[in-house]
C-alpha cells in the first residue's frame, strides 16, 4: 500500500513560518450565497478551469477519465454529474471514490479542477514571478480509508506539484489536519517537507486555505494561521505552473472515497501592484431599502472590470462592471460572495466580501 505523507522530511531550500499580514486574505466564516438548483458553473466562475472526473465519457475510451473543458463547464447550464455537482446548500461538490477510473499519468482517482489561463491551450500557464494566489473555503465531508484527500495544488506543467495541500484525518481522534507539502526541486523525490497549517478540523467543518506563489516564494496558509513558506529553488525557473482544486486521492487502494465541498474558490494573477482597496466587510444594508456601495481597486493598468467569482450579493443587489453594488435587498441576513477585478492587461485579483442586511 502507498505510504502516507510524513509529518517532517529534510529539505534543502529555506523554509520559514511567518504571518504574512500584507498578503494573507482575511478569514471569513460567512459562506458565499449559492443556489443549489444551479450546477457548479452557475455559482462559480469556471471560465478558466477544466475538470477531470473518475469516470469515462459515455462515447469515449473506457480506460480514459473524462475531462470537461470550460465551454461545457461554465455557466448556468454547465456540466454536472455524480462526481461534480451542487449540494443541497449550493456548494461545489467533488466525489472521488477509491475504485474510480484513474488516468492521465496517475493511478489515483480524482474529481479535480485544473486551471486554464487560456481555455483553448493548456500550455499557457504562469511562472513563479509576479503574484499568483488560490483561495478557497472548504468542507471535507468524507475521506477514504487512508484518511487523505488532496484539495489544492500548484502543479508544474512538466514536473510534480510545487505545492500540494491536503486534509489528513485521524480516525482514532475523529479530527483532521490541513497539511501542505512543499517540493524543493522539480523531481518526484526529496527534498520536500510536510507541515501542519491547521489542526482539530472535524469532518464537515468549514475552513479557508490560501496558496501563494509571489516573487519566487511559495507559501500556504489555513484559517489565517502561520504560513509555511519556501524560497523556490532556481531549478524551478524553467517550469510554468497552474492551480488545481477538488478531491484527488493519495492512494488508489483501500475503500470508500473523498467527498469535498467548496463554498468559495478563486485564482488571482496580479502584476503592476494591482490590488483591491475595499474592506472585506462592506457597509450594512436594510431590507426593502435602496442600497449602493462601490468596490474600489488600485494599481494595475487601464482601470478595472469587476465580475463575480463565487456566489452573489444579497438577493435584490447586483454587481456592475464598474464595481457598483446597487439595488434593494429583499431579506435580512449575512451574505458573502467573492468578486474579481481585471485590468486592461488581463491581470486580476479576487477578494471575499460580506454584507449584513438588517430587517
- Is residue 212 within 8 Å of residue 218, measured between CB atoms? yes
Q: Which residues contact 187 (CB under 8 A, 6 or more apart)?
A: 159, 160
Q: Where exactly does CATH 2.60.40.10 map onto the chain?
A: 275-358
Main-chain phi, psi angles of 179, to 5 degrees: -120, 160
Residue 137's nearest CA partner among 281, 351, 333, 296 is: 351
From the centroid of its chain, how far is CA 189? Answer: 25
Q: What is the pLDDT of residues 316-345, one digit of tens each?
A: 999 999 999 999 999 999 999 999 999 999
Cell numbers for 87: 449540494
Residues 6+ apart with CB under 8 A from 68: 50, 51, 53, 79
Measured from the Cβ of residue 85, the count of other Cβ atoms closer than 10 Å reads: 17
Query: Cα dist. 176→173, 236, 331, 352 in Å?
Result: 8, 31, 36, 25
pLDDT digit string, tens, across residues 266-298: 999 999 999 999 999 999 999 999 999 999 999
Burial per residue of 286-305, b for 16 or more beta-carbon CB atoms within 10 angstroms, e otherwise: ebeeebebebebebbeeebb
Looking at CATH, the fold of the domain delimited by 275-358 is given as: Immunoglobulin-like (2.60.40)
**Residue 174 clears pLDDT 60, i.e. is over it:** yes
Q: Report pLDDT digits (tens) over 117-131.
A: 999 999 999 999 989
Q: Where in the chain is the domain with CATH 2.60.120.200?
A: 15-269
CB 144 within 8 A of CB 260: no
Residue-level pLDDT at 1: 34
CATH of domain 15-269: 2.60.120.200
pTM comes to: 0.91
**pLDDT value at 115 more than 70:** yes
Residue percentage of the chain with pLDDT more than 90: 84
Q: How far apart are CA 80 and CA 77, in angstroms?
A: 9
Amino acid at each position: 500500500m502507498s505510504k502516507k505523507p510524513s509529518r517532517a522530511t529534510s529539505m534543502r531550500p529555506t523554509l520559514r513560518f511567518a504571518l504574512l499580514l500584507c498578503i494573507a486574505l482575511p478569514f471569513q466564516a460567512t459562506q458565499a450565497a449559492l443556489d443549489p438548483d444551479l450546477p457548479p458553473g452557475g455559482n462559480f466562475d469556471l471560465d478558466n478551469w477544466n475538470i477531470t472526473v473518475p469516470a469515462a465519457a459515455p462515447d469515449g475510451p473506457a480506460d480514459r477519465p473524462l475531462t470537461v473543458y470550460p465551454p461545457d463547464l461554465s455557466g448556468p447550464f454547465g456540466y454536472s454529474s455524480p462526481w461534480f455537482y451542487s449540494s443541497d446548500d449550493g456548494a461545489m461538490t467533488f466525489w472521488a471514490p477509491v475504485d474510480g477510473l484513474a488516468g492521465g499519468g496517475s493511478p489515483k482517482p480524482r474529481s479535480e479542477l485544473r486551471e486554464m489561463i487560456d481555455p483553448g491551450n493548456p500550455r499557457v500557464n504562469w511562472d513563479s514571478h509576479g503574484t499568483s494566489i488560490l483561495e478557497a473555503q472548504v468542507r471535507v465531508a468524507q475521506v477514504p480509508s487512508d484518511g487523505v484527500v488532496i484539495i489544492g495544488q500548484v502543479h508544474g506543467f512538466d514536473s510534480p506539484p510545487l505545492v500540494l495541500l491536503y486534509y489528513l484525518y485521524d480516525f482514532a481522534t475523529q479530527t483532521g489536519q490541513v497539511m501542505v507539502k512543499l517540493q524543493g526541486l522539480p523531481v518526484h523525490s526529496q527534498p520536500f517537507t510536510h507541515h501542519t497549517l491547521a489542526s482539530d478540523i472535524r469532518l464537515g467543518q468549514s475552513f479557508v486555505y490560501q496558496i501563494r506563489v509571489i516573487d519566487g516564494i511559495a507559501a500556504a496558509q489555513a484559517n489565517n494561521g502561520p504560513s509555511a513558506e519556501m524560497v523556490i529553488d532556481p531549478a524551478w525557473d524553467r517550469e510554468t505552473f497552474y492551480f488545481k482544486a477538488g478531491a484527488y486521492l493519495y492512494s488508489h487502494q483501500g475503500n470508500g472515497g473523498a467527498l469535498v465541498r467548496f463554498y468559495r474558490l478563486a485564482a488571482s494573477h496580479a502584476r503592476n501592484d494591482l490590488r483591491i482597496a475595499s474592506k472585506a466587510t462592506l457597509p450594512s444594508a436594510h431590507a426593502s431599502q435602496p442600497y449602493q456601495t462601490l468596490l474600489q481597486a488600485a494599481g494595475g493598468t487601464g482601470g478595472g472590470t469587476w465580475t463575480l467569482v463565487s456566489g452573489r450579493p444579497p438577493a435584490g443587489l447586483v454587481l456592475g462592471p464598474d464595481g457598483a453594488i446597487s439595488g434593494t435587498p429583499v431579506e435580512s441576513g449575512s451574505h458573502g460572495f467573492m468578486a474579481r477585478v481585471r485590468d486592461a492587461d488581463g491581470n486580476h485579483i479576487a477578494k471575499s466580501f460580506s454584507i449584513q442586511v438588517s430587517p
